[in-house]
Structure 1
Amino acid sequence: MAKKPKEISYRTVGEWRLKSKTSYKNPFINVTVDATFTSPSGEKFTVPGFYDGASHPEDAQHPKGEDTWRVRFNPNEVGRWKFNIFSKPADPALTQEGEFEVTSCEARGFLKATPGRAWGFHYESGEPVFFLGDTVYNLFGMAYCGGPVASFLKRRAQQGFNLLRVRLPVSPFHPPDGYNHWQTRRTWPWGGSEQSPQFDRFHLEYFHTVDQVVSEAEKLGLGFEMIMEAWGFEFPFNCRHLFLPEWEELWMRYLVARYDAFNCVYFWTLMNEYEYYPDGRWKRQSSPLADRWAMRMARWLKSTAQHGHIVSVHNGPQMPPFAERFATDPEAIDAIMFQSWGTTGKEDAWLASGIEESIAKSLKDWPGSALFAEYGYERNPEVSLRLPGHRFCDPEHTRRGAWRGAFSALGVIHGFENSWGPCMILDQDQPGLKYLLHMRRFFTGVVPFHRMRRTPEVLAAGEYAPGLQPLALATENQEVVAVYLPAGSSAHLALSEDKSYRAQWYDTRVGQLSPASPSAQEKKLSFATPGGQDKEQHPWDWVLVLFSNHAKKRSAGKR
């Protein structure tokens, strides 16, 4: 008995359902199901299947006593495909072959890492991607505990977010006081318990909820960074004498089998802050052991997850540079989900200083792609402080941190105390979120982000206090130039004399453009910001944007 698709649209998920009456002592490990799919052009993909439980007695279509296995595949080519599903040991009920037709349809396809092109990411359709993301580590656990996840996903998609950082294992606690007070059900994804784990079986009821959330994201066009192993200081990832390589491989294979076929899986991230490997201890710098683990697991993952999703790592320590860490196999890791919070103290959190310097140092000579994936979590003063590091992460930190990341030519992911982990306030947006939407509008509606590159040479030489250095982006021919001033003041430019420009200010607080006129400065093209201060008397940040008039004569916007 099997569900066997006869026709599938290009880049949609097809599912083959097989049922067996064979009594396996532990169907998660006593039989292995795989499938090979052959495209019209002859390309072959071998993907794992997964056990999904016994039939429900109330389901008349599925006789009692049969167990279910599923194979999920997402075709990348239009035409007639062949497939062969097989099992070890051989079970006739878990063996099947046949053909199906893949029909054409408009689809942007999978996300691909494209280092050196645009900002490092394109869809298969060729569309460059500007990332605006949110961090909701425990999204699947929140859904399993009855949280309003569907409405949250819909709102984020409508707002223009296109990526969420989520974890497959739920983190019920983060030191020193980050308990999940919303958690009403156990979210342990394996069998047994944390005290007596059974790593050779999986909590199917939990994974059925994950399926529902993934399917909802698929409909909305949202992407997930699927974090396969949570913080390395958590059990079982900090107990490698129990969570042995055999169990790690079984865990990752199961995740791949269930979710690798989905378009919404943008990234497979091996571990959050992978440098905790192997003992769960914080390290000031990455260790060769953790780096070798990441490269080894990335290669294993690419051989198993043959749909070809991006394989990424997320850092804790920022040094040594990633090009040095992965020099022995630079193509194993496709993307870095980079973390740097900048300044977070009482007097300097508003400025989020140091982010662009950290990005430049850590990603120096990195041949792959990267995202600015974490720089703090905006504090909600109406809830108890669970993590002291969030105390001064206010909306100003949210805004400036995002602009610093974007002016490093990286997509940006932030996080909020309402939703990142211990709290579940999914129906309320925090004040800083609107600033992220204004930033997205600038890069997707005002300037051609995919053509913009870091261009510090357009800035005239000068000395600046820490955190006050302007940042510049420009197109290759400097037809569009943008300068971010994190604390107001003036932008002094060193642009070609053979171009004239029209200039505008972009207000990062409200997302509006206004005319900009140059200041009278000898031998310099300078623009003084419109000024303004927040209630703490911190100067406002501004973006100057210049568009070439494609004329050699000078104009009001060019001296």
Structure 2
Amino acid sequence: MHSRETFPERRPAGSLLRGAVAIALACLLGASRVGAGLMPSGRSGPLAIWDVSLSKTQVARYETAEITFQMEGRWRNPFNPDEVRVDAVFTAPDGTQITVPAFFYQDYERSVSGGRESYRAAGRPCWKVRFAPSQPGRYTCVLAAKNGEHELTVKAPPFICTTASGRRGYLRISSHNRLYFEFDDGTPFFGVAMDKAMGPVFQYERMYKRFAEAGGNFNRLFLTHGNFNIMERVVGRPGPDRGAGKLNLEYCWCVDRVLELGEQYGVYHMLTLTNQTNFRTNNGGWDVNVYNAKNGGFLKAPGEYFTDERAQRIFQHLLRYAVARWGASTSVFSWDLWNEVSAAEGYQPETAARWHRRMARYLRSVDWAKHVIHTNFGTLNGDAEIDGLPEMELVSTNIYAVKDIAHIAEVWTKRLIEQYKKPYMLTEYGIGHRMGPAGYAPHDPERVMVHNGLWSPLVSGSAGTGMAWDWNWLDDERFYRYVKAAARFVDGIPFSRRGWRGVQVEAFEFADGSQRPYYADTLVEGFPGNYRFPPEAAEHELFTVLENGRLDRQDLLHARL
């Protein structure tokens, strides 16, 4: 092992010349996008670290300290820690050591024209470490690099963590009430939420301001599509950061920007890392999946993703990169391993459970900040083989195509909380999937379903409001008005320090004594959108209409009457 005791300075001119030659050759071979200025990610020199710098010498508690450095060595893929890895070992004031992975980085400049964003690489690529200290006092750091058989340790500049901070730490599951969330400093939190999972950065710049002003504080991002497609889908332009096992650096940069907005406005995020829509052959998703052998990948069918060792190793590499790049952000609440996992082609509960257990355990081993880990189902009742795993710390399900979202959300929020004793979030809900280019707005212009889906989980024991899916539905004055009302209602209620009690109603009377009882239509609605019913559903043939007009077991009534 080689060791250096001083902070590395710039490399000698000869070393920089070798890098310039490598860049020129890569450009000639078409390995980089010359127009965008992206340098090739591969390297072929002796292992060395230089130009180590620190973002600031005094950092407030839970504020991000960023170390930047250049590194030379021999590798083809800087996103593969089996080829090259750097870990920053921080020593806290009390002597505790925290290991934080480093990541490969490229800066970008953004331009917006005609409602579209474009990005141009700015400056040289480099390596970075991001870390948020929690203890006041002096921190030291050593960078430990490994490249093949070569190892190197280099000291990074120390910094002081100050107590001057209004930050409350990371958002976690409460130790007082495991059904709710609170911050490291014990401040209770209730999620007033939406599901704006995709879109260009400028949309978040506009929406987060209005959302936060109304009292909104929780969202979900798909790191699998559009401007956040960090790996999973094929991108038209070739480049050294494209394909299975590599991270799309410009879209990673977009995730950076949205998380920065989250920190600015107090919006906390679920980060979704895999998506069923990219693992299906009936919707075109598999056709643009980087793992597909037809796209230069190595899988012949979507279902192989759950069992192929190479695919699992690559996903672990993605997890390590995600932790390195975004784990320090207090705007990150959780790692959501899948969106609607049971809809992926080839899904088998037992196999998928093994996959989730492996990934969650690996993620817990590398995530120094200990963010919440969970997955997501597109069916309300999820899957007990996975939701019941101790590694899955939260239950998250979705529902579409129901008319009475208030009742459905109430029934399943209470049932899932009782079944798993874990926090529950209704992570998506919406009218349907075939609404046309105008989205949901023409079908529900008053956003009645949005309103009911916000409130029903809130008063049924969920850790947050329901999260309405954005399809031309959310960025609207009515939506923000509903958000504001929910936010005002929960403000000041310490949900993580309280429990719910049922209210016993002995009699019902109209406030206006002159009002006479009246008859109204009863809506008998089955349970569409959930095609994996519990076994007792097939045996339940008789249903009772209760005095309030509801069915006793609506969840067992099939949609096809």
- Name the TM tier (shorter chain): 0.5 to 0.7
> Which residue identity lines up with residue 395 of structure 1 in the other structure?
R
Q: Map residues 269-280 of structure 1 onto 2, 5 A cutoff.
A: 269-276=336-343, 279=345
- Note the C-alpha offset of 1:293: 2.0
Gaps (5+ residues) in structure 2?
Answer: 1-50, 110-121, 280-284, 292-301, 524-561
- Note the C-alpha offset of 1:385: 5.5
1:378/1:395 contact within 8 Å kept: no
SS in 1 for 2:189: coil
Partner of 1:364: 418
- Note the C-alpha offset of 1:304: 1.1
Which segment drifts farther, 129-138 or 185-194? 185-194
1:368-405 per-position Cα deviation (integer Å, ceiling 9, x unaligned): 32223223269998x735689x9569622222222221
SS in 2 for 1:86: strand
- Note the C-alpha offset of 1:309: 1.2
> Which residue identity lines up with residue 148 of structure 1 in the other structure?
Q
Distance 1:336 1:393 in 2: 30
1:379/1:394 contact within 8 Å kept: no
2:170/2:330 contact within 8 Å kept: yes
Partner of 1:72: 130
- Among the aligned pairs, what percent are the same residue? 22
Partner of 1:414: 467
Give the structure with the larger strand fraction.
Answer: 1
Partner of 2:194: 134
Is 1:263 the counterpart of 2:330? The answer is yes
166, 169, 174: which one aligns with 1:114: 174
Distance 2:107 2:453 in 1: 49
Distance 2:489 2:495 in 1: 9
495, 505, 513: which one aligns with 1:460: 505
SS in 2 for 1:134: coil
User: Structure 2 length normalisation: TM-score?
Assistant: 0.66
472, 487, 505: which one aligns with 1:440: 487
1:33/1:49 contact within 8 Å kept: yes
1:385/1:391 contact within 8 Å kept: no
Partner of 1:33: 86
Partner of 2:105: 52
245, 249, 259: which one aligns with 1:204: 249
Give the structure with the larger helix fraction.
Answer: 2
2:189/2:494 contact within 8 Å kept: no
SS in 2 for 1:206: helix
Distance 1:201 1:375, change over 3 A: closer
Is 1:3 the counterpart of 2:53? The answer is yes
Distance 1:55 1:371, change over 3 A: closer
Gaps (5+ residues) in structure 1?
Answer: 57-62, 173-184, 421-425, 463-489, 492-515, 521-527, 537-559
Distance 1:115 1:365 in 2: 19
Distance 2:386 2:433 in 1: 33
Distance 1:53 1:308 in 2: 26
139, 162, 167: which one aligns with 1:103: 162
Is 1:431 the counterpart of 2:481? The answer is no
> Which residue identity lines up with residue 270 of structure 1 in the other structure?
L
**What's the Cα RMSD here?**
4.2
1:333-374 per-position Cα deviation (integer Å, ceiling 9, x unaligned): 222223345x72xxxx25643222122223324233222322
Partner of 2:274: 229
388, 405, 426: which one aligns with 2:457: 405
Q: Map residues 179-328 of structure 1 onto 2, 5 A cutoff.
A: 189=231, 193=235, 198-231=243-276, 233=279, 234-235=285-286, 236=289, 238=302, 240=304, 244-276=311-343, 279=345, 287-319=349-381, 322=384, 325-327=386-388
- Note the C-alpha offset of 1:307: 0.8
115, 120, 123: which one aligns with 2:183: 123
Which segment drifts farther, 372-381 or 287-296? 372-381
User: Structure 1 length normalisation: TM-score?
Assistant: 0.66
73, 82, 86: which one aligns with 2:140: 82
Partner of 1:473: none
- Note the C-alpha offset of 1:299: 1.4
1:511-544 per-position Cα deviation (integer Å, ceiling 9, x unaligned): xxxxx96979xxxxxxx9999x9xx9xxxxxxxx
Partner of 2:392: 333
SS in 1 for 2:63: coil
> Which residue identity lines up with residue 377 of structure 2 in the other structure?
N
Equivalent residue pairs, number: 430
1:134/1:414 contact within 8 Å kept: yes
2:88/2:141 contact within 8 Å kept: yes
1:98-147 per-position Cα deviation (integer Å, ceiling 9, x unaligned): 532211123211101116528510011211111111111114xx12xxx4
Distance 2:246 2:381 in 1: 37
Distance 1:337 1:2 in 2: 42
2:428/2:469 contact within 8 Å kept: no
SS in 2 for 1:198: coil
- Note the C-alpha offset of 1:191: 9.6
1:113/1:121 contact within 8 Å kept: yes
1:133-190 per-position Cα deviation (integer Å, ceiling 9, x unaligned): 1111114xx12xxx433122211111111011111121x6xxxxxxxxxxxx895647
> Which residue identity lines up with residue 333 of structure 2 in the other structure?
Y
Distance 2:468 2:432 in 1: 6
Distance 1:123 1:444 in 2: 15
1:6/1:100 contact within 8 Å kept: yes
Distance 1:384 1:191 in 2: 22
Distance 1:276 1:379 in 2: 14
SS in 1 for 2:138: strand
2:228/2:254 contact within 8 Å kept: no
